[in-house]
Chains A and B, each alone.
Chain A
Amino acid sequence: MVVTTHRPLPKELSDIQQEMEQHALDYGLDFFKTIFEVLDYEELSMFAAYGGFPVRYPHWRFGAQYDELMKGYSYGLQKIYEMVINTDPCYAYLLSANDITDQKLVIAHVYGHCDFFKNNAWFAHTNRKMLDQMANHATRMNRHIDTHGYETVEMFIDTCLSLESLIDPYAPHIKREAKAERKPETKRQEEETGEASGGRFPAKNYMDRYINPDEVLEAEASQKREKAREMSDQLKFPKERMRDVLYFLIQYAPLEDWQRDVLSIIRDEAYYFAPQGQTKIMNEGWASFWHSTIMTRHGLTDEGLINYADHHSGTMATSPNRLNPYKLGIELLKDIEERWNKGQFGPEYEDCTDMFEKERWDKDLGLGREKIFEVRRIHNDITFIDTFLTPEFCYKNRMFSFAFNDSNKTYEIQSREFEQIKQQLLNSLSNHGRPVIYVQDANYKNRGELYLEHEYMGVELKLDYAQDTLVNLHRIWKRPVNIETVVDDRPTILSYDGKKHHTNSKEKT
């Protein structure tokens, strides 16, 4: 199987590559062997559409992505300069149309990414042989297609993809449970209403009120109801809520073997890509930090300067309603380096109330470089922001938080206060901006219904999407599905029973 196009770099570029690699090594970057290839835009877009992987299972969304990239490029809206994948060895693809200064910049940038992939803790559990794994997935998928037909499998992939974000991004790092719980028999209980008829003795009409006194029947009925409730508590399953909804479904949903396999493939790939979402700011910031360090100190020629400045500033451009991860990442890293060089940290510095003194604080410790290497090893975006974002930094970078104003359907600047900005930023980054959802009960109402819970943190679900997703969930669970969330500030259960949607909102509490 052809995994890459295996085109050796032209001499001109391989010289640059060696030079950049040496600079990267000199600065202490540590990366897997990195294989570069030059592609034209069409090829690069193709690789990008497949998430960097030359071989993946067939699916229309890759085609859609490719189509979008090619159109964006031909209309001059966007351009990919480079692409790196987290494997050992790392593969990096360069755009053939880049001019030589761009190639230098991009190669330096790539080494930043490769170092990050290898050393950042959140990537520690990723499969470095993912090229093979992806190809295996493709083979398995194709086998299912051969057996069950293209459209059947494609439709099921669509269904699974609809749920792909329902994983537990921390699961690879924490063992939450020793082993999977066994599914209890979900035997259908008698009606909870506990009709007394069951306890009624046969009796002639005129004797009935003596043989089956109303009080006794009532007492029996209530006892039964009580018992049923107890039973249903016992039958609550899983015992602890579970964040890895996909794992739960793979274990317990009534799926055919091939469907279970497809769902596992989707889950595996979701876990592989998860750390990239968790470390976007850091990873891009780190790569940008190194391309700018290496380029400005070593890589630039007189004639390349303008081009470099142009490209670099384009990458770093900010806009009011969208945070640029490259910009935030590189600035924060530079800030940390400077603070640790000058000793602007620790209790003594924190306690200092004299702004003027704080500003010229310089103990000449020179710990900056060491510090940022540590940061790149242990942090993800959330802990990075939580630990290192400072009021001074927010002020200097003109940061603000914005919020959606429901009355005029507009995003507005909400605050320039540090605490608010930081909180908003952390909120947006949590679970990389996706709602956090748990399996709460798989035997809801003692009827084998699935009950999910959306951990509401102030942002409501997009309702139509939620309903469509429930439909897909039902396709897998095959029994009614519910999700507890908040709609219009009220706790609400959205349900889908296979035919109709129900919205059950509780009173405001």
Chain B
Amino acid sequence: MVRRIDRDQQRFEKIIKGKVRQQLRKYINHGEMIGRKGRETVSIPVPNIEIPHFQHGEKGSGGVGQGEGEVGQPIGRGKSDGDGQGQAGNEKGQHIREVELTLEELADMLGEALELPRIEPKGDDALTSKKDRYTSVSPTGPDSLRHFKRTYKRALKRMIATNNYDPKDPLIIPTKDDERFRSWKTVSEPHTNAAVIYMMDVSGSMTDVQKEIVRTEAFWIDTWLKRQYNGIERRYIVHDAVAHEVDEDTFYRVRESGGTRISSAYRAADHIIKRDFPPSLWNIYCFQFSDGDNWGEDNTECIENLKENIFPICNLFCYGQVRSPYGSGDFIKELRKFEEEFDNLILSEIDDKEAIYGSIKTFLGTGK
């Protein structure tokens, strides 16, 4: 039975989720959700939806309290939304409510908000996984899988057929032959996987603000790709003049200085792909973030590397040039020359947090 309160609560949740959807852009740009990630769900702070009333503000407000203290002693900060009047505490201030959303719901909202096309994974049946499904019944098996109803039915049939059944004393005794057990079949399911390789320039010019932008974008990219594939694998590469494969945490924290050789990252990416993700089986995504300040002579090598090793096997190669306080480099101009030639090359300039939303749309809007 559906209780009244369940209906009202569901309605409330729907309204709140609508609120999140409405303000998704704000959430995306400000990265408020990251770090609030549970295993499958994210909790998002939403200002409690409230019905406005004529009510008192703080100015001129006060109340009566009890306890020790001198005149002039502060007893609590004003809350911009609180119950300033202090009416014997029978009204409450505004709350921030946490809404639990699954990552799927979030991805769907994102897709809807950015009008992202669904991705058609390549290599559909190339990789399969095996799964056991309980779809059949067999005469043998462990007790824990005994199919009670089937067993009972067979026993009943047998007893009626052998004239041993007495409706006045409906006693059914199954024999060994009557017993039936649930049984499984192993089925193969197409399994499409995606590999995401994040590359980031960690030279001195990439400050925490820039990294925060990268982190926020990566979160949304992950969320969207996860929704499109059965699973995703992620690898992280940081580089200055040399590249290293690191874990996620290090990726966002490490900061180095020294010259920048982007080609080193491409070599590392190529290595990882060859090692872990045979391109015929994997949908491969590369996201590179940099302020675009490359060692001049290195550009040629970068392009060669991309054309030879990366473009041919990637679903997408996305380059996000993050503007840094030290000015923005011109690596993106080098890549622009090839935009026409390779339609899996996507470029985006990210000036500040506000630009994240648009940048995600640019990257993922191709449906590849």
Contact = CB atoms under 8 A, between A and B. Distances in A.
Contacts of A277: 90
Closest 4 CB pairs of A and B: A433-B87, A63-B8, A63-B9, A403-B62
B55 A322 contact: no
B60 A459 contact: yes
Contact of B70 (A404, A413, A472): A413
B64 A424 contact: yes
A462 B65 contact: no
B8 A62 contact: yes
Contact of B54 (A158, A408, A412, A469): A469
A162 B52 CA distance: 5
Contacts of A483: 54
Which residue, of B51, B61, B65, B75, has the highest number of chain A Cβ atoms within 10 A? Answer: B65
16 contacts: A46-B3, A61-B51, A158-B51, A163-B53, A322-B65, A322-B86, A323-B64, A400-B69, A402-B64, A403-B61, A403-B62, A408-B74, A410-B74, A433-B87, A459-B60, A461-B54
Contact of B9 (A67, A165, A403): A67
A64 B91 CA distance: 15
B56 A411 contact: no
A410 B51 CA distance: 26
A404 B64 contact: no
B3 to A, nearest CB: 7
Interface of B: 3-5, 7-13, 15, 48-49, 51-78, 83-91, 95, 97
Given A63-B12, A409-B77, A412-B75, A162 B51 contact: yes
Contacts of A162: 51-53
A404 B75 CA distance: 10
Q: Select the residue from B9, B13, B51, B62 with max chain A CB neighbours within 10 A.
A: B62
B90 A320 contact: no
A434 B84 CA distance: 11
Contacts of A163: 53
Interface in A439-459: 454, 458-459
Interface in A48-87: 49-50, 55-56, 58-64, 66-68
B5 A62 contact: yes
B52 A469 contact: yes
Given A63-B10, A409-B78, A459-B60, A437 B54 contact: yes
Contacts of B87: 428-429, 432-433
Interface stretch (A88-96, A249-257, A414-422): A414-422
- Where chain B touches its partner, the secondary structure class is loop
Nearest to B56: A459
A352 interface: no
A292 B264 CA distance: 78
A346 to B, nearest CB: 27
A22 interface: no
A411 B58 CA distance: 9
A460 B56 contact: yes
Contacts of A319: 65-67
A321 interface: yes
Contact of B86 (A165, A428, A465): A428
Contacts of B88: 280-281, 322-325, 328, 381, 428-429, 433
Contact of B71 (A66, A404, A415, A468): A415
A209 interface: no
A460 B11 contact: no
A321 B52 CA distance: 24
Contacts of B83: 433
B63 A401 contact: yes
A214 B302 CA distance: 88
B75 A321 contact: yes
Contacts of B10: 63
A460 B59 contact: yes
Interface centre among A50, A61, A429, A433 (most CB of B within 10 A): A433
Interface in A195-235: none
A398 interface: yes
Which residue, of B10, B54, B58, B83, has the highest number of chain A Cβ atoms within 10 A? B54
A112 to B, nearest CB: 18
Contacts of B13: 63, 67
A421 B71 CA distance: 12
A403 B75 CA distance: 10
A248 to B, nearest CB: 15
Interface in A468-500: 468-469, 472, 483, 488
Given A322-B89, A432-B90, A458-B60, A465 B69 contact: no
Nearest to B57: A462
A399 B59 CA distance: 22
Contacts of A124: none
B172 to A, nearest CB: 37
A432 B56 CA distance: 11
Interface string A275-297: 00100110000000000000000
A315 B87 CA distance: 17
Contact of A472 (B52, B69, B86): B52
Nearest to B8: A63
B53 A459 contact: no
Nearest to A317: B66
A318 interface: yes
A63 B78 CA distance: 29
A178 interface: no
